[in-house]
Each structure stands twice: as C-alpha cells, then as structure tokens.
Structure 1
C-alpha cells in the first residue's frame, strides 16, 4: 500500500521528524528511508535506537499511526494510475489482495475511499506474526485468495517488500518510488502504474 498505491511516505517522514523534535531525539532523511517497507514494530525498534528516545517500540508505532492517519483522513495521496489499475482488475474479475505492513486502522481510510469490492482480502502487519521481508504476509494473502503463490503477481515499491513476495513464490513487479530496488532473477520493473491494465500487466516467463 504505502509507496505503491498511496504515497504516504512523506507523511511518515514528517511525523518521524516531529516525533524527534517532540522528544529531543535525532533523526535524518536517511533514517526515514531505511524504514521504507519494514514491519512497523521493526521500525519502532529502529526509531527507539536511532532516534534515541525513551519509548517502547509499540508506543512509537501507535503514536506515529495516530499522526499519519490524521494526514490521510484529510487527503489520500494516491499514486498515479493506482485507482485506475485497481478498477480495471476488478472489472476483469482478477481477485486482488492488499498486503501491507501498516495496521488495519491505518488502512481503513484508504479502503473507505475505494469501492467496497476492490480487494477480495486484506492482510495487514498486525495480522501476521512475521512481517516483510519474511514470506508470511504474501503466503497468507495467497491462501485467503485460494491461490498458489506462484500464480500471483505482487506489486512492490521496496526491496524489503520484493524479498517478501519472492520468498513466498510470487512473481514481483517492482515500481520504485522513494528507494531504489536492485534487479534480481525474476524481478520485473515498471516506472509507474499509469497505463497498466489487467491485459498488459507484465508476467514472468
């Protein structure tokens, strides 16, 4: 979701800077970029260590979620082509799963802005024991869709997410946004979601 369908990373980065100012910590843009695609609790542990603040990782996550959700409720920052691709996939009868390391309460404002049948299932970071880059989120999504992961195409904007999908056995279409994604066996690349449809999505092999 983050960075692929909606460009919430600037919201996260702003809220992280504000947290550092609030608690007298230190934070850099490089720190923010290091968190892109990560499991939220892993991010909370990174922030506690690198920001140097005396909060538990779960407390950090919850406070950041509250702040970023406020931004999203004011405006959902859609990535170019995202809603159009989802609508076309839905019209073509292609079942879609949303696989994100954000928590459900963070995802809900975006889901509220889409037709209710856009996603056949949603897997959030608080619904799996191990988040990205482990395969668990994508394995769960494929299972809920009733599909073999090898028949699924994952669209990702980070190397962390791409590794998660690859480990699950999915083909991965990489659409880099804020961070570069290295090339790898079986990784496909697109510059944008604009112009992509159910008929022309690239597939491996």
Structure 2
C-alpha cells in the first residue's frame, strides 16, 4: 500500500541506515489495551469469558489467528466477522484518542527530516493503519503493509519481506543489513528477524523470552537516528 514518498533533503550525508520498518500496535501507539477490551466485550456479548491471560496470548499475532481463538471462546461469528467487529471497536476508541508510545513520534519526525524512508508493518487492517498514519505529517510513511495483504502474518517473515520488496522497488540499492525494524512483541520481532532485518525489541505489555543476543530497549524515548545507525552497523544480534 504505497503512500506519498518523503523527498530526500539536499546535501544530507549518506547514513549507514537506509530505512526503518515500524510495527504499529504497542510500538507506535499503545492500542493493546483497546484490543484487549474489544476481545473481552465481544466474547462477553456471545456468552463467554475472556481473561487478561487469554488476551496476552494474542498480542502481535495475525488477526485471523486471533479470530479463531475467539471462536473457540464462544464467539459465533465467521473469522471475517470477528475481525470486523474487533477493528470496529478499536477504531471507535482511536477516533477519540490516539495513545502514542513514548518517543515514537519524535523518532519518526527525525527520520523524515533526514530523508530516511519508513514503512509500517502491522497485523492490523488497512483502515486502522491509515487512521494512525493520518495523524502524522504526510509522507511520514512511504508505505503500509497490513494484515490482509499477506497470507501468513507475524511471526512468519512474510509481512516484513513484502514491505522490504515494496520499499526496495522505490529505493534503489536498499539492503536488508542497513534496515532497522522496531517491534514490541515476540511474534513481531520473530517476523522481522526471520526476514533478515536488524530488529530491536521494545517490549510493552508482555516480556519477551530471555535472549542475550537480542537488541532490546525499554522505550523509544530519547532514541535517535544514531541509535538505529549503531544497530545496523553492529549487525543484527549484537547485544546491547
């Protein structure tokens, strides 16, 4: 889903960092509580129960997977109907308030000013992704890859592979080793890592399994292009 590009400012030194791929929920915006409440409400409407532990299992997963789990919990709707119901509930809350994660907008603004292209890679639907992108300056994202665009969602590498291929079509010489991916969940981190990108985890609601080789930051607050340049220069897997 290509979006208007970001013109590269003149006389900007070449960066070790060529592009940044962003997860949405939990990384750019703190919408996980919205999703959890939507799941609880939908299951309750169909006479079932849904706990916080059930909800945590779905963080970062593809929506069809989540829909099937809700069906198992008693929601008597098709997968498509479950996805539509959930996204409708989340979108309704997003139109009232967009809960930005610390440092996300500031880092996006810095990347845009430096002419470094960004792509959003999310398992949310196109309308939700566009809703968030619409609250940012035009050109913040070169393209959006959303859940309905891939057969296999996160943790499979397909979403990030598709995003890289689409971005590479407009950015000659793009190399995975010089691209960073920002993720809050284990399925998302696994997807980006499997696609060959230099990934960094910013855990939010759930902790990731212990891995001394994983690059992990507490939040994006105070993080800059220099941090991302160090990430890609060191190579994926370098411990911080």
TM above 0.5, one fold? yes
Is the 1:174–1:187 Cα contact (8 Å) retained in structure 2? yes
Flag structure 1 segments of 5+ consecutive residues without an equivalent: none
Give the structure with the higher percent helix.
1
1:25 Cα deviation (Å)? 1.0
1:174 Cα deviation (Å)? 0.4
The aligned counterpart of 2:167 is 145
1:47 lines up with 2:70 in the alignment: yes
The aligned counterpart of 2:8 is none
When Rg is computed on C-alpha atoms for both structures, the one with the higher figure is 2
The aligned counterpart of 1:176 is 203
1:185 Cα deviation (Å)? 6.7
Relative to 1, partners in 2 of residues 1:65 and 1:39: Cα closer, same or farther, differing over 3 Å? same
Is the 1:97–1:141 Cα contact (8 Å) retained in structure 2? yes
Which of these residues, 55, 72, 76, is aligned with residue 98 of structure 2? Answer: 76
Flag structure 2 segments of 5+ consecutive residues without an equivalent: 1-23, 169-173, 236-240
How do residues 183-194 of structure 1 correspond to structure 2 at under 5 angstroms? 183-184=210-211, 186-194=213-221
Matched residue count: 204
In structure 1, what is the Cα distance between the partners aligned to 2:177 and 2:76? 43
Is the 2:43–2:70 Cα contact (8 Å) retained in structure 1? no
In structure 2, what is the Cα distance between the partners aligned to 1:162 and 1:177? 13
1:89 lines up with 2:111 in the alignment: yes
Is the 1:138–1:149 Cα contact (8 Å) retained in structure 2? no
TM-score by length of 2: 0.82
RMSD: 1.3
Q: Relative contact order, CA 8 A, sep 6+: which one is greater? A: 2
In structure 2, what is the Cα distance between the partners aligned to 1:172 and 1:200? 12
1:5 lines up with 2:28 in the alignment: yes
> Runs of 4+ in structure 1 displaced over 4 angstroms?
none
How do residues 11-160 of structure 1 correspond to structure 2 at under 5 angstroms? 11-49=34-72, 51-146=73-168, 147-160=174-187
Is the 2:60–2:185 Cα contact (8 Å) retained in structure 1? yes
Is the 1:38–1:160 Cα contact (8 Å) retained in structure 2? yes
1:11 Cα deviation (Å)? 0.6
The aligned counterpart of 1:165 is 192
